[in-house]
Amino acid sequence: MGRLESKTALVTGASSGIGRAIAARFVEEGARVFATGRRQDALDELAAELGSAVTAIRADASNLAELDNLYEAIESAGSRLDIVVANAGGGTFATLEDLTPDSFDETFGSNVRGTVFTVKKALRLLNDGGSIIVTGSTSASHAISAFGVYSASKAAIAQFVRVWAMELADRRIRVNTLVPGPTETPGLAGLAATPAESQRLLAGEAARVPLRRLGQPSEIAAGALFLASDDASFVTGSELFLDGGQSRA
């Protein structure tokens, strides 16, 4: 018996990286998973890899109409949810001087608006006693040059989680933030413009971690599994840091 046997989960941003690893671990532990992302080809690959336990649905979490379509598809499949992992999001480097309204709106639209309404619209399908997990970032509490908008968006989400934990306590729904440190994902590498710059970026990020390496998506997925499972039955409104000690350095 897996730790999520007979559970049904939604994982957004599951096309690659941390989201993909979470979806895979949940399936390994017995869950049925609805996986979303913006790239249909990557979702098709995920479904082919993980088999019938995964239903892949293309959806942009920042698009409210697509979120409505997503939840209609889940409901039409005769499913309710036990676990919601609001993982979709991203960001780019931009100093205050270089920041544009469009880039600001894109980051907050994906990371804040998308997360808020992913969770809000899930509530009618989420079983009492369920688990909501939101992917945060160590940058929410650390100043990183040219990463202000992303950092602020993740700080906003951390505060939403604290409030939601109080608001949903009567339904015994636990709400927590999963906080990865620098993790070896296409998203992190993609912040750089060239392969050479990407290698320098990854090496620099690893050097800032006390364990002197990047995290692996599978390690972050292990934290998500804990928060999703009954092992975390008394954990809500919390931040689980999986960052190699970075946040305490």
- Cβ contact 134:178 at 8 Å: yes
Count other C-beta atoms under 10 Å from residue 62's C-beta. 23
Domain count for the chain: 2
* Domain contains 1: no
Mean pLDDT of 224-245: 97
**pLDDT at 217 (0 to 100):** 96
pLDDT digits (tens, 9 = 90+) for 35-92: 999 999 999 999 999 999 999 999 999 999 999 999 999 999 999 999 999 999 888 8
Catalytic, 150? Answer yes
pLDDT digits (tens, 9 = 90+) for 135-159: 999 988 877 877 899 999 999 999 9
Strand bridging mode 239-242 / 54-58? unpaired
The 3-state DSSP class for residue 54 equals strand
Same domain for 158 and 193, yes or no, is: no
* Domain contains 140: yes
* From 150, 160, 164, 241, the catalytic residue: 150
CA gyration radius, the chain: 17
Same domain for 139 and 203, yes or no, is: no
Residue whose entry in the numeric block shows the structure tokens 């995290």: 215
* Domain contains 247: no
Same domain for 136 and 157, yes or no, is: yes
* Domain contains 25: yes
What CA–CA distance (Å, rounded) separates 28 from 150? 32
Structural domain of residue 118, as residue ranges? 8-180+216-240
Burial of 36 (0-12, 13-18, 19+ CB in 10 A): buried
pLDDT digits (tens, 9 = 90+) for 97-149: 999 999 999 999 999 999 999 999 999 999 999 999 999 999 888 778 778 99
The model's pTM: 0.94
